[in-house]
Amino acid sequence: MMIKSLKQQGFSLIEVLVTMLVLSIGLFGMLSVIITSLKMNSSSVYRSIASQQAHAIAEVMRANPTAIGTINAATAVTFSAASAVPVAGCLQVAGCTRGTSSTAGYVQNALQMWKDQLAGLLPNGTGTVCQDSTPNDGTSANWLCDSAVNAPYVVKICWNESRIAASSSVSGTAGTFGTGGALCTYTNL
């Protein structure tokens, strides 16, 4: 009786381990791409929200043209969202008036609600409306509104995007600027 030699079939343990190592490196690379994509997607969502909010408050300002001309005047309504003080009775049945006095209520309440929306929709979201000839020269810590006489009115919105490294190096492109993790956008009225 003749014994036939049997050929070895299958894979050795070393081959299986090397294959698993190569596959896991590829999968971790894919996971990294997916995570980066999700971060950039949320950054895009924040930019869209900021743009929508800037246009929303710009429309409020356009709806009250008598107040727009008094921005930054000593006796007029201050359009800084940080200093907006709502008028208590404005959300009652009687409603608000649209004048420029400090008791008119419409502009103050609109700015306070806008400020609250920014804080709720954007991480550390802040905003301001001011007269500025160089709107892209500041950060959320320093708006640098120069209040120049013939400068356009601008809406500036900043939020925190420190978790995305690419956002901290944006500089003056397409109405967006940022430093130190704060990303800001502006639009003219």
Total tally of structural domains belonging to the chain: 1
Q: What is the mean pLDDT of residues 68-78?
A: 42
Residue 52 lies inside a defined structural domain of this protein: yes
Residue 8 lies inside a defined structural domain of this protein: no
pLDDT tens per residue, range 112-122:
888 889 999 99
> Residue 77's pLDDT is what?
36
Whole-number Å distance between alpha carbons of 186 and 50: 9
Cβ pair 114, 53 in contact under 8 A = yes
Whole-number Å distance between alpha carbons of 87 and 33: 49
Angle at 176 (CA atoms; ends 174, 178), nearest 5 degrees: 145
Residue 144 lies inside a defined structural domain of this protein: yes
Residue 113 lies inside a defined structural domain of this protein: yes
Instruction: Write out the residue range of the structural domain in which residue 25 sits.
Output: 13-188
Residue 5 lies inside a defined structural domain of this protein: no
Q: What is the mean pLDDT of residues 37-50?
A: 89
Q: What is the mean pLDDT of residues 155-184?
A: 65
| Nearest Cα residue to 187 out of 158, 157, 159, 155 | 155
Global pTM exceeds 0.75: no
> Residue 85's pLDDT is what?
58
pLDDT tens per residue, range 80-105:
444 555 666 676 666 776 655 555 67
When mean pLDDT is compared over 26-35, 149-158, 179-188, the highest value belongs to 26-35
Angle between helical axes of 13-63 and 106-121 (0-180°, round to 10)? 180
Residue 7 lies inside a defined structural domain of this protein: no
> Residue 161's pLDDT is what?
82
Residue 49 lies inside a defined structural domain of this protein: yes
What is the percentage of the chain residues whose pLDDT exceeds 70?
62
3-state secondary structure of 174: coil
Q: Among 42-56, 75-89, 126-140, which is the least confidently predicted range?
A: 75-89
Q: What is the mean pLDDT of residues 39-59?
A: 89
Tokens (6 digits) for 117: 């929306």
Residue 69 lies inside a defined structural domain of this protein: yes
